[in-house]
A and B are shown apart, each in its own frame.
Chain A
Amino acid sequence: MIQSSQTSRLKNRGLIDRSQPLDFTFDGVPYTGYAGDTLASALLANGVRLVGRSFKYHRPRGILTAGSEEPNALVELRSGARREPNTRATVAELFNGLEAKSQNRFPSLSLDLLAINGLVSPFLSAGFYYKTFMWPAAFWEKLYEPMIRRAAGLGRAAPEHDPDSYDKATAYCDVLVVGSGPSGLMAALSAARAGARVILADESFAFGGRLLSDARTVDGKSGADWVASVIAELKSFPGVQLMSRTTVFGAYDTGTFGAVERVADHVAIPAAGVPRQRLWRIVAKHSIIAQGAGERPIVFGNNDRPGVMLASAVRTYINRFGVAPGETAVVFSNNDEGASTIEDLVSAGVTVAGLVDTRTSLPPAIKSLARKHGIRVFEGAVVADALGGSRVTGARIIASYGAPQTVACNLIAVSGGFNPNLQVTTHQGSRPQWRDDLAAFVPGALPKGMAVSGSAKGTYGLASCLKEGAQAGAAAAAAGGFVATAAAIPAADDEPTEVSAFWHVESSKHKAFVDQQNDVTAADVRLAEREGFQSVEHLKRYTTLGMATDQGKTSNVNGLAMLAALTGKTIPATGVTAARPPYTPVAIGALAGEHRDKHFKPTRLTPSHDWAKERGAVFIETGLWLRAQYFPKPGETDWLTTVSREVTTVRNSVGVCDVSTLGKIEIHGTDAGKFLDRVYINMMSTLGVGKARYGMMLREDGIAMDDGTAARFADDRYFITTTTANAIKVLQHLEFCRQWVWPELDVQLFPVSDQWAQYSVAGPRARDLLAKIVDAPFDISNAAFPYMAVAELTVLGGIKARLYRLSFSGEMAYEIAVPARHGDLLMRTLMSKGEEFGVTPYGTEALGVMRIEKGHVAGPELNGTTTCADLGLGKMASTKKDFIGRILSQRPGLADPNRPRVVGFKPVDKSARLRGGAHFIAKDAEPVARNDLGFMTSVAFSPSLGHWVGLGFLAGAESRMGEILRAVDPVRNSDILVEVVSPVFYDGEGARLRV
Chain B
Amino acid sequence: MRINCPHCGERSLDEFSYLGDAVVRPDPASPNAQDAFYAYGYERANVAGPMQELWYHAAGCHAWLVVTRDTRTHEISEVKSAQEVALARQKVAGTAQ
CB of B86 within 8 A of CB of A256, answer no
Contact of B37 among A253, A428, A887 (CB under 8 A): A887
With both chains docked as a complex, state the minimum distance between the C-beta of A550 and any C-beta of chain B, in angstroms.
Answer: 29
With both chains docked as a complex, state the minimum distance between the C-beta of A123 and any C-beta of chain B, in angstroms.
Answer: 45
Interface presence of B5 (CB below 8 A): no
CB of A739 within 8 A of CB of B1, answer no
Interface presence of A732 (CB below 8 A): yes
CB of B75 within 8 A of CB of A448, answer yes
Interface presence of A700 (CB below 8 A): yes
Q: Which residues of B contact A732 (CB under 8 A)?
A: 17, 56, 58, 62
CB of B90 within 8 A of CB of A743, answer yes
CB contact under 8 A between A739 and B64, given known A256-B12, A700-B37, A888-B38: yes
Contact of B28 among A255, A429, A701, A882 (CB under 8 A): A882
Contact of B2 among A256, A749, A887 (CB under 8 A): A256
With both chains docked as a complex, state the minimum distance between the C-beta of A753 and any C-beta of chain B, in angstroms.
Answer: 13
Contact of B54 among A700, A740, A743 (CB under 8 A): A740
CB of B41 within 8 A of CB of A744, answer no
CB of A735 within 8 A of CB of B37, answer no
Contact of A735 among B56, B75, B76 (CB under 8 A): B56
Give the CA-CA distance A44 to B12 in the complex, in Å.
46
Q: Which residues of B contact A133 (CB under 8 A)?
A: none
CB of B74 within 8 A of CB of A744, answer no
CB of A739 within 8 A of CB of B83, answer yes
A-B Cβ contacts below 8 A, count: 80
CB of A888 within 8 A of CB of B37, answer yes
B1: nearest residue on chain A (CB-CB)? A253
Contact string against A for B residues 6-29, beta-carbon threshold 8 Å, 1 for contact and 0 otherwise: 000000110001010010010011
Contact string against B for A residues 688-705, beta-carbon threshold 8 Å, 1 for contact and 0 otherwise: 000000000000110000
For chain B, residues 28 to 56, give those with C-beta under 8 angstroms from any C-beta of chain A. 28-29, 33-34, 37-38, 40-41, 54, 56
For chain A, residues 369 to 417, give those with C-beta under 8 angstroms from any C-beta of chain B. none
CB of A283 within 8 A of CB of B38, answer no
Q: Which residues of A contact B82 (CB under 8 A)?
A: 739-740, 743
CB of A252 within 8 A of CB of B40, answer no
CB of B63 within 8 A of CB of A739, answer yes
Give the CA-CA distance A391 to B25 in the complex, in Å.
74
With both chains docked as a complex, state the minimum distance between the C-beta of A774 and any C-beta of chain B, in angstroms.
Answer: 35
CB of B41 within 8 A of CB of A888, answer yes
Q: Which residues of A contact B17 (CB under 8 A)?
A: 732
CB contact under 8 A between A743 and B86, given known A254-B1, A254-B2, A736-B64: yes
Contact string against B for A residues 724-753, beta-carbon threshold 8 Å, 1 for contact and 0 otherwise: 000010011001101111011000010000
Contact string against B for A residues 854-887, beta-carbon threshold 8 Å, 1 for contact and 0 otherwise: 0000000000000000000000000000100011
CB of B34 within 8 A of CB of A890, answer yes
Give the CA-CA distance A891 to B41 in the complex, in Å.
12
CB of A736 within 8 A of CB of B19, answer yes
Q: Which residues of A contact B86 (CB under 8 A)?
A: 739-741, 743
Interface presence of A595 (CB below 8 A): no
Interface presence of A281 (CB below 8 A): yes
CB contact under 8 A between A744 and B90, given known A253-B2, A732-B56, A891-B34: yes
A447: nearest residue on chain B (CB-CB)? B73
Give the CA-CA distance A48 to B41 in the complex, in Å.
67
Contact string against B for A residues 57-68, beta-carbon threshold 8 Å, 1 for contact and 0 otherwise: 000000000000
Main SS of chain B's interface residues?
A: mixed
Give the CA-CA distance A701 to B25 in the complex, in Å.
12
Give the CA-CA distance A891 to B34 in the complex, in Å.
8
Interface presence of B87 (CB below 8 A): yes
Contact of A887 among B34, B87, B90 (CB under 8 A): B34
CB of B37 within 8 A of CB of A281, answer no
Q: Which residues of A contact B84 (CB under 8 A)?
A: 743
With both chains docked as a complex, state the minimum distance between the C-beta of B49 and any C-beta of chain A, in angstroms.
Answer: 14
With both chains docked as a complex, state the minimum distance between the C-beta of A643 and any C-beta of chain B, in angstroms.
Answer: 37
CB of B2 within 8 A of CB of A743, answer no
CB contact under 8 A between A736 and B56, given known A882-B28, A887-B33, A891-B34: yes
Q: Which residues of B contact A283 (CB under 8 A)?
A: 2, 12
CB contact under 8 A between A254 and B37, given known A739-B63, A882-B29: no
CB contact under 8 A between A731 and B87, given known A254-B76, A700-B37, A700-B40: no
Report which residue of A255, A886, A888 has the largest number of chain B beta carbons within 10 angstroms of its beta carbon.
A888
A732: nearest residue on chain B (CB-CB)? B56
Contact string against A for B residues 59-91, beta-carbon threshold 8 Å, 1 for contact and 0 otherwise: 000111000000001111000011110110010
Q: Which residues of B contact A882 (CB under 8 A)?
A: 28-29
With both chains docked as a complex, state the minimum distance between the C-beta of A428 and any C-beta of chain B, in angstroms.
Answer: 8
Give the CA-CA distance A888 to B34 in the complex, in Å.
7
CB of B74 within 8 A of CB of A253, answer yes
CB of A700 within 8 A of CB of B74, answer no
Q: Which residues of A contact B12 (CB under 8 A)?
A: 170, 256, 281, 283
Give the CA-CA distance A147 to B41 in the complex, in Å.
52
Give the CA-CA distance A738 to B83 in the complex, in Å.
8
With both chains docked as a complex, state the minimum distance between the C-beta of B23 and any C-beta of chain A, in angstroms.
Answer: 10
Give the CA-CA distance A254 to B79 in the complex, in Å.
14
Q: Which residues of B contact A428 (CB under 8 A)?
A: 73-74
B64: nearest residue on chain A (CB-CB)? A739
Q: Which residues of B contact A743 (CB under 8 A)?
A: 82-84, 86-87, 90
Give the CA-CA distance A728 to B58 in the complex, in Å.
9
CB of B83 within 8 A of CB of A741, answer no
For chain A, residues 408 to 451, give those with C-beta under 8 angstroms from any C-beta of chain B. 428-429, 447-448
Contact string against B for A residues 708-732, beta-carbon threshold 8 Å, 1 for contact and 0 otherwise: 0000000000000000000010011
CB contact under 8 A between A735 and B41, given known A254-B76, A281-B12: no
Give the CA-CA distance A517 to B83 in the complex, in Å.
56
Report which residue of B1, B25, B54, B84 has the largest number of chain A beta carbons within 10 angstroms of its beta carbon.
B25
With both chains docked as a complex, state the minimum distance between the C-beta of A9 and any C-beta of chain B, in angstroms.
Answer: 48
A448: nearest residue on chain B (CB-CB)? B75
With both chains docked as a complex, state the minimum distance between the C-beta of A733 and any C-beta of chain B, in angstroms.
Answer: 10
Q: Which residues of B contact A735 (CB under 8 A)?
A: 56, 62-64
Give the CA-CA distance A888 to B37 in the complex, in Å.
7
A890: nearest residue on chain B (CB-CB)? B34
Q: Which residues of B contact A255 (CB under 8 A)?
A: 2
With both chains docked as a complex, state the minimum distance between the C-beta of B89 and any C-beta of chain A, in angstroms.
Answer: 9
Give the CA-CA distance A709 to B83 in the complex, in Å.
27
CB contact under 8 A between A254 and B87, given known A731-B62, A887-B28, A887-B37: no
Contact string against B for A residues 887-902, beta-carbon threshold 8 Å, 1 for contact and 0 otherwise: 1101100000000000
B4: nearest residue on chain A (CB-CB)? A254
With both chains docked as a complex, state the minimum distance between the C-beta of A614 and any C-beta of chain B, in angstroms.
Answer: 34
For chain A, residues 59 to 103, give those with C-beta under 8 angstroms from any C-beta of chain B. none
With both chains docked as a complex, state the minimum distance between the C-beta of A256 and any C-beta of chain B, in angstroms.
Answer: 7
Report which residue of A253, A728, A887 has the largest number of chain B beta carbons within 10 angstroms of its beta carbon.
A887
With both chains docked as a complex, state the minimum distance between the C-beta of B55 and any C-beta of chain A, in angstroms.
Answer: 11
CB of B87 within 8 A of CB of A744, answer yes
A700: nearest residue on chain B (CB-CB)? B41
Report which residue of A254, A701, A732, A744 has the largest number of chain B beta carbons within 10 angstroms of its beta carbon.
A254
Give the CA-CA distance A283 to B12 in the complex, in Å.
9
With both chains docked as a complex, state the minimum distance between the C-beta of A266 and any C-beta of chain B, in angstroms.
Answer: 30
* 6 A-B pairs with least C-beta separation: A253-B1, A743-B86, A254-B2, A739-B83, A882-B28, A253-B74
Q: Can you identify 22 A-B contacts, CB atoms within 8 angstroms? A: A252-B1, A253-B2, A253-B74, A254-B1, A254-B76, A256-B1, A428-B73, A448-B75, A700-B37, A700-B40, A732-B17, A735-B56, A735-B64, A736-B19, A738-B83, A739-B63, A739-B83, A743-B90, A744-B87, A887-B28, A887-B37, A890-B34
Residues of A whose CB lies within 8 Å of any CB of B are 170, 252-256, 281, 283, 428-429, 447-448, 700-701, 728, 731-732, 735-736, 738-741, 743-744, 749, 882, 886-888, 890-891
Residues of B whose CB lies within 8 Å of any CB of A are 1-2, 12-13, 17, 19, 22, 25, 28-29, 33-34, 37-38, 40-41, 54, 56, 58, 62-64, 73-76, 81-84, 86-87, 90
Q: A735-B64, A890-B34 are in contact. List 14 more A-B contacts (CB 8 A).
A: A254-B74, A256-B12, A447-B73, A448-B75, A700-B40, A731-B62, A735-B56, A735-B63, A736-B19, A736-B56, A739-B82, A740-B22, A887-B33, A891-B34
